[in-house]
Structure 1
Amino acid sequence: MFAAALSGFVMGGTLIIAVGAQNSFLIEQSLKRQWTGLFVLLFIVSDAISISLGAMGFGLLLQEYPLLVSVTKWAGVIFLLWFAFNKLKASMADDALVLEMSKKQTSFKRAFLIAMAVTWLNPHFYLDTLLLMGNLASQWQLDKWWFVCGAIWASIVWFVGLSTLTAKFAHLMQRPSFWRWFNRLNAAVLGAVSIQLASL
């Protein structure tokens, strides 16, 4: 029981940290203090749903419908490249505009759609949580739900910790130079994720 939960926590944490697009989005929302708690909850619930479905064997559907995976993959690639382009474009503005854009409130609808896209349009999300974590959970047989609980706890610890730590130091990050380089780093991460997805 404990071994299954610990294994789920370690494996879940390792995979969650690697989902760069989600983390970049959450860091930006935490710095801007915009609906952070809601998006933390959204990411945790999304992980919980996908990992639980994987433990029930739904990951096998991905292998039976490769066209669905392919469509999702290329939609994700296009979205992430568009998102990366906008971040790179924002990083090239003058200091006053960069600072103004860093404080600009994003509409809730737009932010929510981006949060959903970096999660559910990311094939890595399905492959990691639904397929890989589902297969790992099934190996624990009677203790598989303890494995799932451990993985969900990893999601809670990571997203709550990331948003809380970022918000705590937000006041130190209100300089144009920070946002300029943050946007460039964001663009690089998103671009790298999109290239990685395209190569799957």
Structure 2
Amino acid sequence: MPSSAALLAALAGLTFGLSLIVAIGAQNAFVLRQGLLRERRGVVVAVCAISDVVLIALGVGGAGVLLASAPALADAARLAGAAFLLAYAALAARRAWRRCAVADAADGAAGGVLAVLLTALALTWLNPHVYLDTVVLAGTAADAHGDRRWWFAAGMACGSVLWFAALGYGAAALRPLFARPAAWRLLDGAIAAIMLALGLSLALSAV
């Protein structure tokens, strides 16, 4: 039976993790869109959740120190992430521009499970902001809990799993709002803007 101190550390990790992850970003925007489409939700949720758990474990295990000591690697990751985000922004903008029927909304998922899997992986592992949240910040925050840092990590991991599951499967409740093509155009336009802003910020931070 875990002690009250361990449970408090886990609760702190859960709260801390949710405070970092519950924000509009590239990864969350993609999960939301797939949830609205009801396409490959399990794949997307699993990839994002498992990736977060792995990255949190790496951060608490001390990978943040190694990452901070390799600025060249960080810059390369920023450039790769920026290129991917800008390309995805262009695709989202194209969808928003050409949207003419509700049925067209499925075009983002029509590439099949492999395309969705690769996109989810890229939006997670090519995004330096994810490393900042789950590796650097997680490691720093967990260290404050001493011997109970892995309880803190477990709380963070639970927060990530709960969030992605809620976003991926709960998004279907918003489906009636997207019965009109204009709603999909607004969503894709917002996604394009988010990806563009994040991509430009990463590119500028690497130069």
TM over 0.5: yes
Q: How far has the Cα of 1:115 moved from its partner?
A: 0.5
Q: How far has the Cα of 1:20 moved from its partner?
A: 0.7
Instruction: Note if 1:22 corresponds to 2:21.
Output: no
Q: How far has the Cα of 1:8 moved from its partner?
A: 0.8
Q: Map residues 17-166 of structure 1 onto 2, 5 A cutoff.
A: 17-18=22-23, 20-93=25-98, 95-96=100-101, 99-104=102-107, 105-166=110-171
Q: Tell me if structure 2 keeps the 8 A contact 1:83–1:187.
A: yes
User: What stretches of structure 1 of length at least 5 have no aligned partner?
Assistant: none
Q: How far has the Cα of 1:75 moved from its partner?
A: 0.6
Q: Tell me if structure 2 keeps the 8 A contact 1:16–1:155.
A: yes
Q: How many residues align?
A: 198
Q: How far has the Cα of 1:185 moved from its partner?
A: 0.6
**Alpha-carbon distance between aligned partners in 2 of 1:34 and 1:170, rounded to the nearest angstrom:** 13
What residue number does 1:179 align with? Answer: 184
Deviations 1:138-186 (A, max 9, x none): 2211110110011011112211111222112324413211111111011
Q: Tell me if structure 2 keeps the 8 A contact 1:19–1:124.
A: no
Structure 2 CA distance for partners of 1:54 and 1:32, relative to 1, 3 Å: same
Q: TM-score, normalised by structure 1?
A: 0.93
- Identity, in percent, stands at 36
What residue number does 2:3 align with? Answer: none
Q: Tell me if structure 1 keeps the 8 A contact 2:82–2:199.
A: yes
**Alpha-carbon distance between aligned partners in 2 of 1:85 and 1:31, rounded to the nearest angstrom:** 20
**Alpha-carbon distance between aligned partners in 2 of 1:185 and 1:65, rounded to the nearest angstrom:** 34
| Displaced runs of 4 or more, over 4 A | none
Q: Tell me if structure 2 keeps the 8 A contact 1:19–1:125.
A: no
Q: TM-score, normalised by structure 2?
A: 0.90
Deviations 1:7-61 (A, max 9, x none): 2111111111236111111111111111101211111111111111111111111
2:62 is paired with a residue of what secondary structure? coil
Q: CA RMSD in A?
A: 1.5
1:18 is paired with a residue of what secondary structure? coil
**Alpha-carbon distance between aligned partners in 2 of 1:149 and 1:143, rounded to the nearest angstrom:** 10
User: What stretches of structure 2 of length at least 5 have no aligned partner?
Assistant: 1-5
1:95 is paired with a residue of what secondary structure? coil
**Alpha-carbon distance between aligned partners in 1 of 2:54 and 2:24, rounded to the nearest angstrom:** 16
2:67 is paired with a residue of what secondary structure? helix
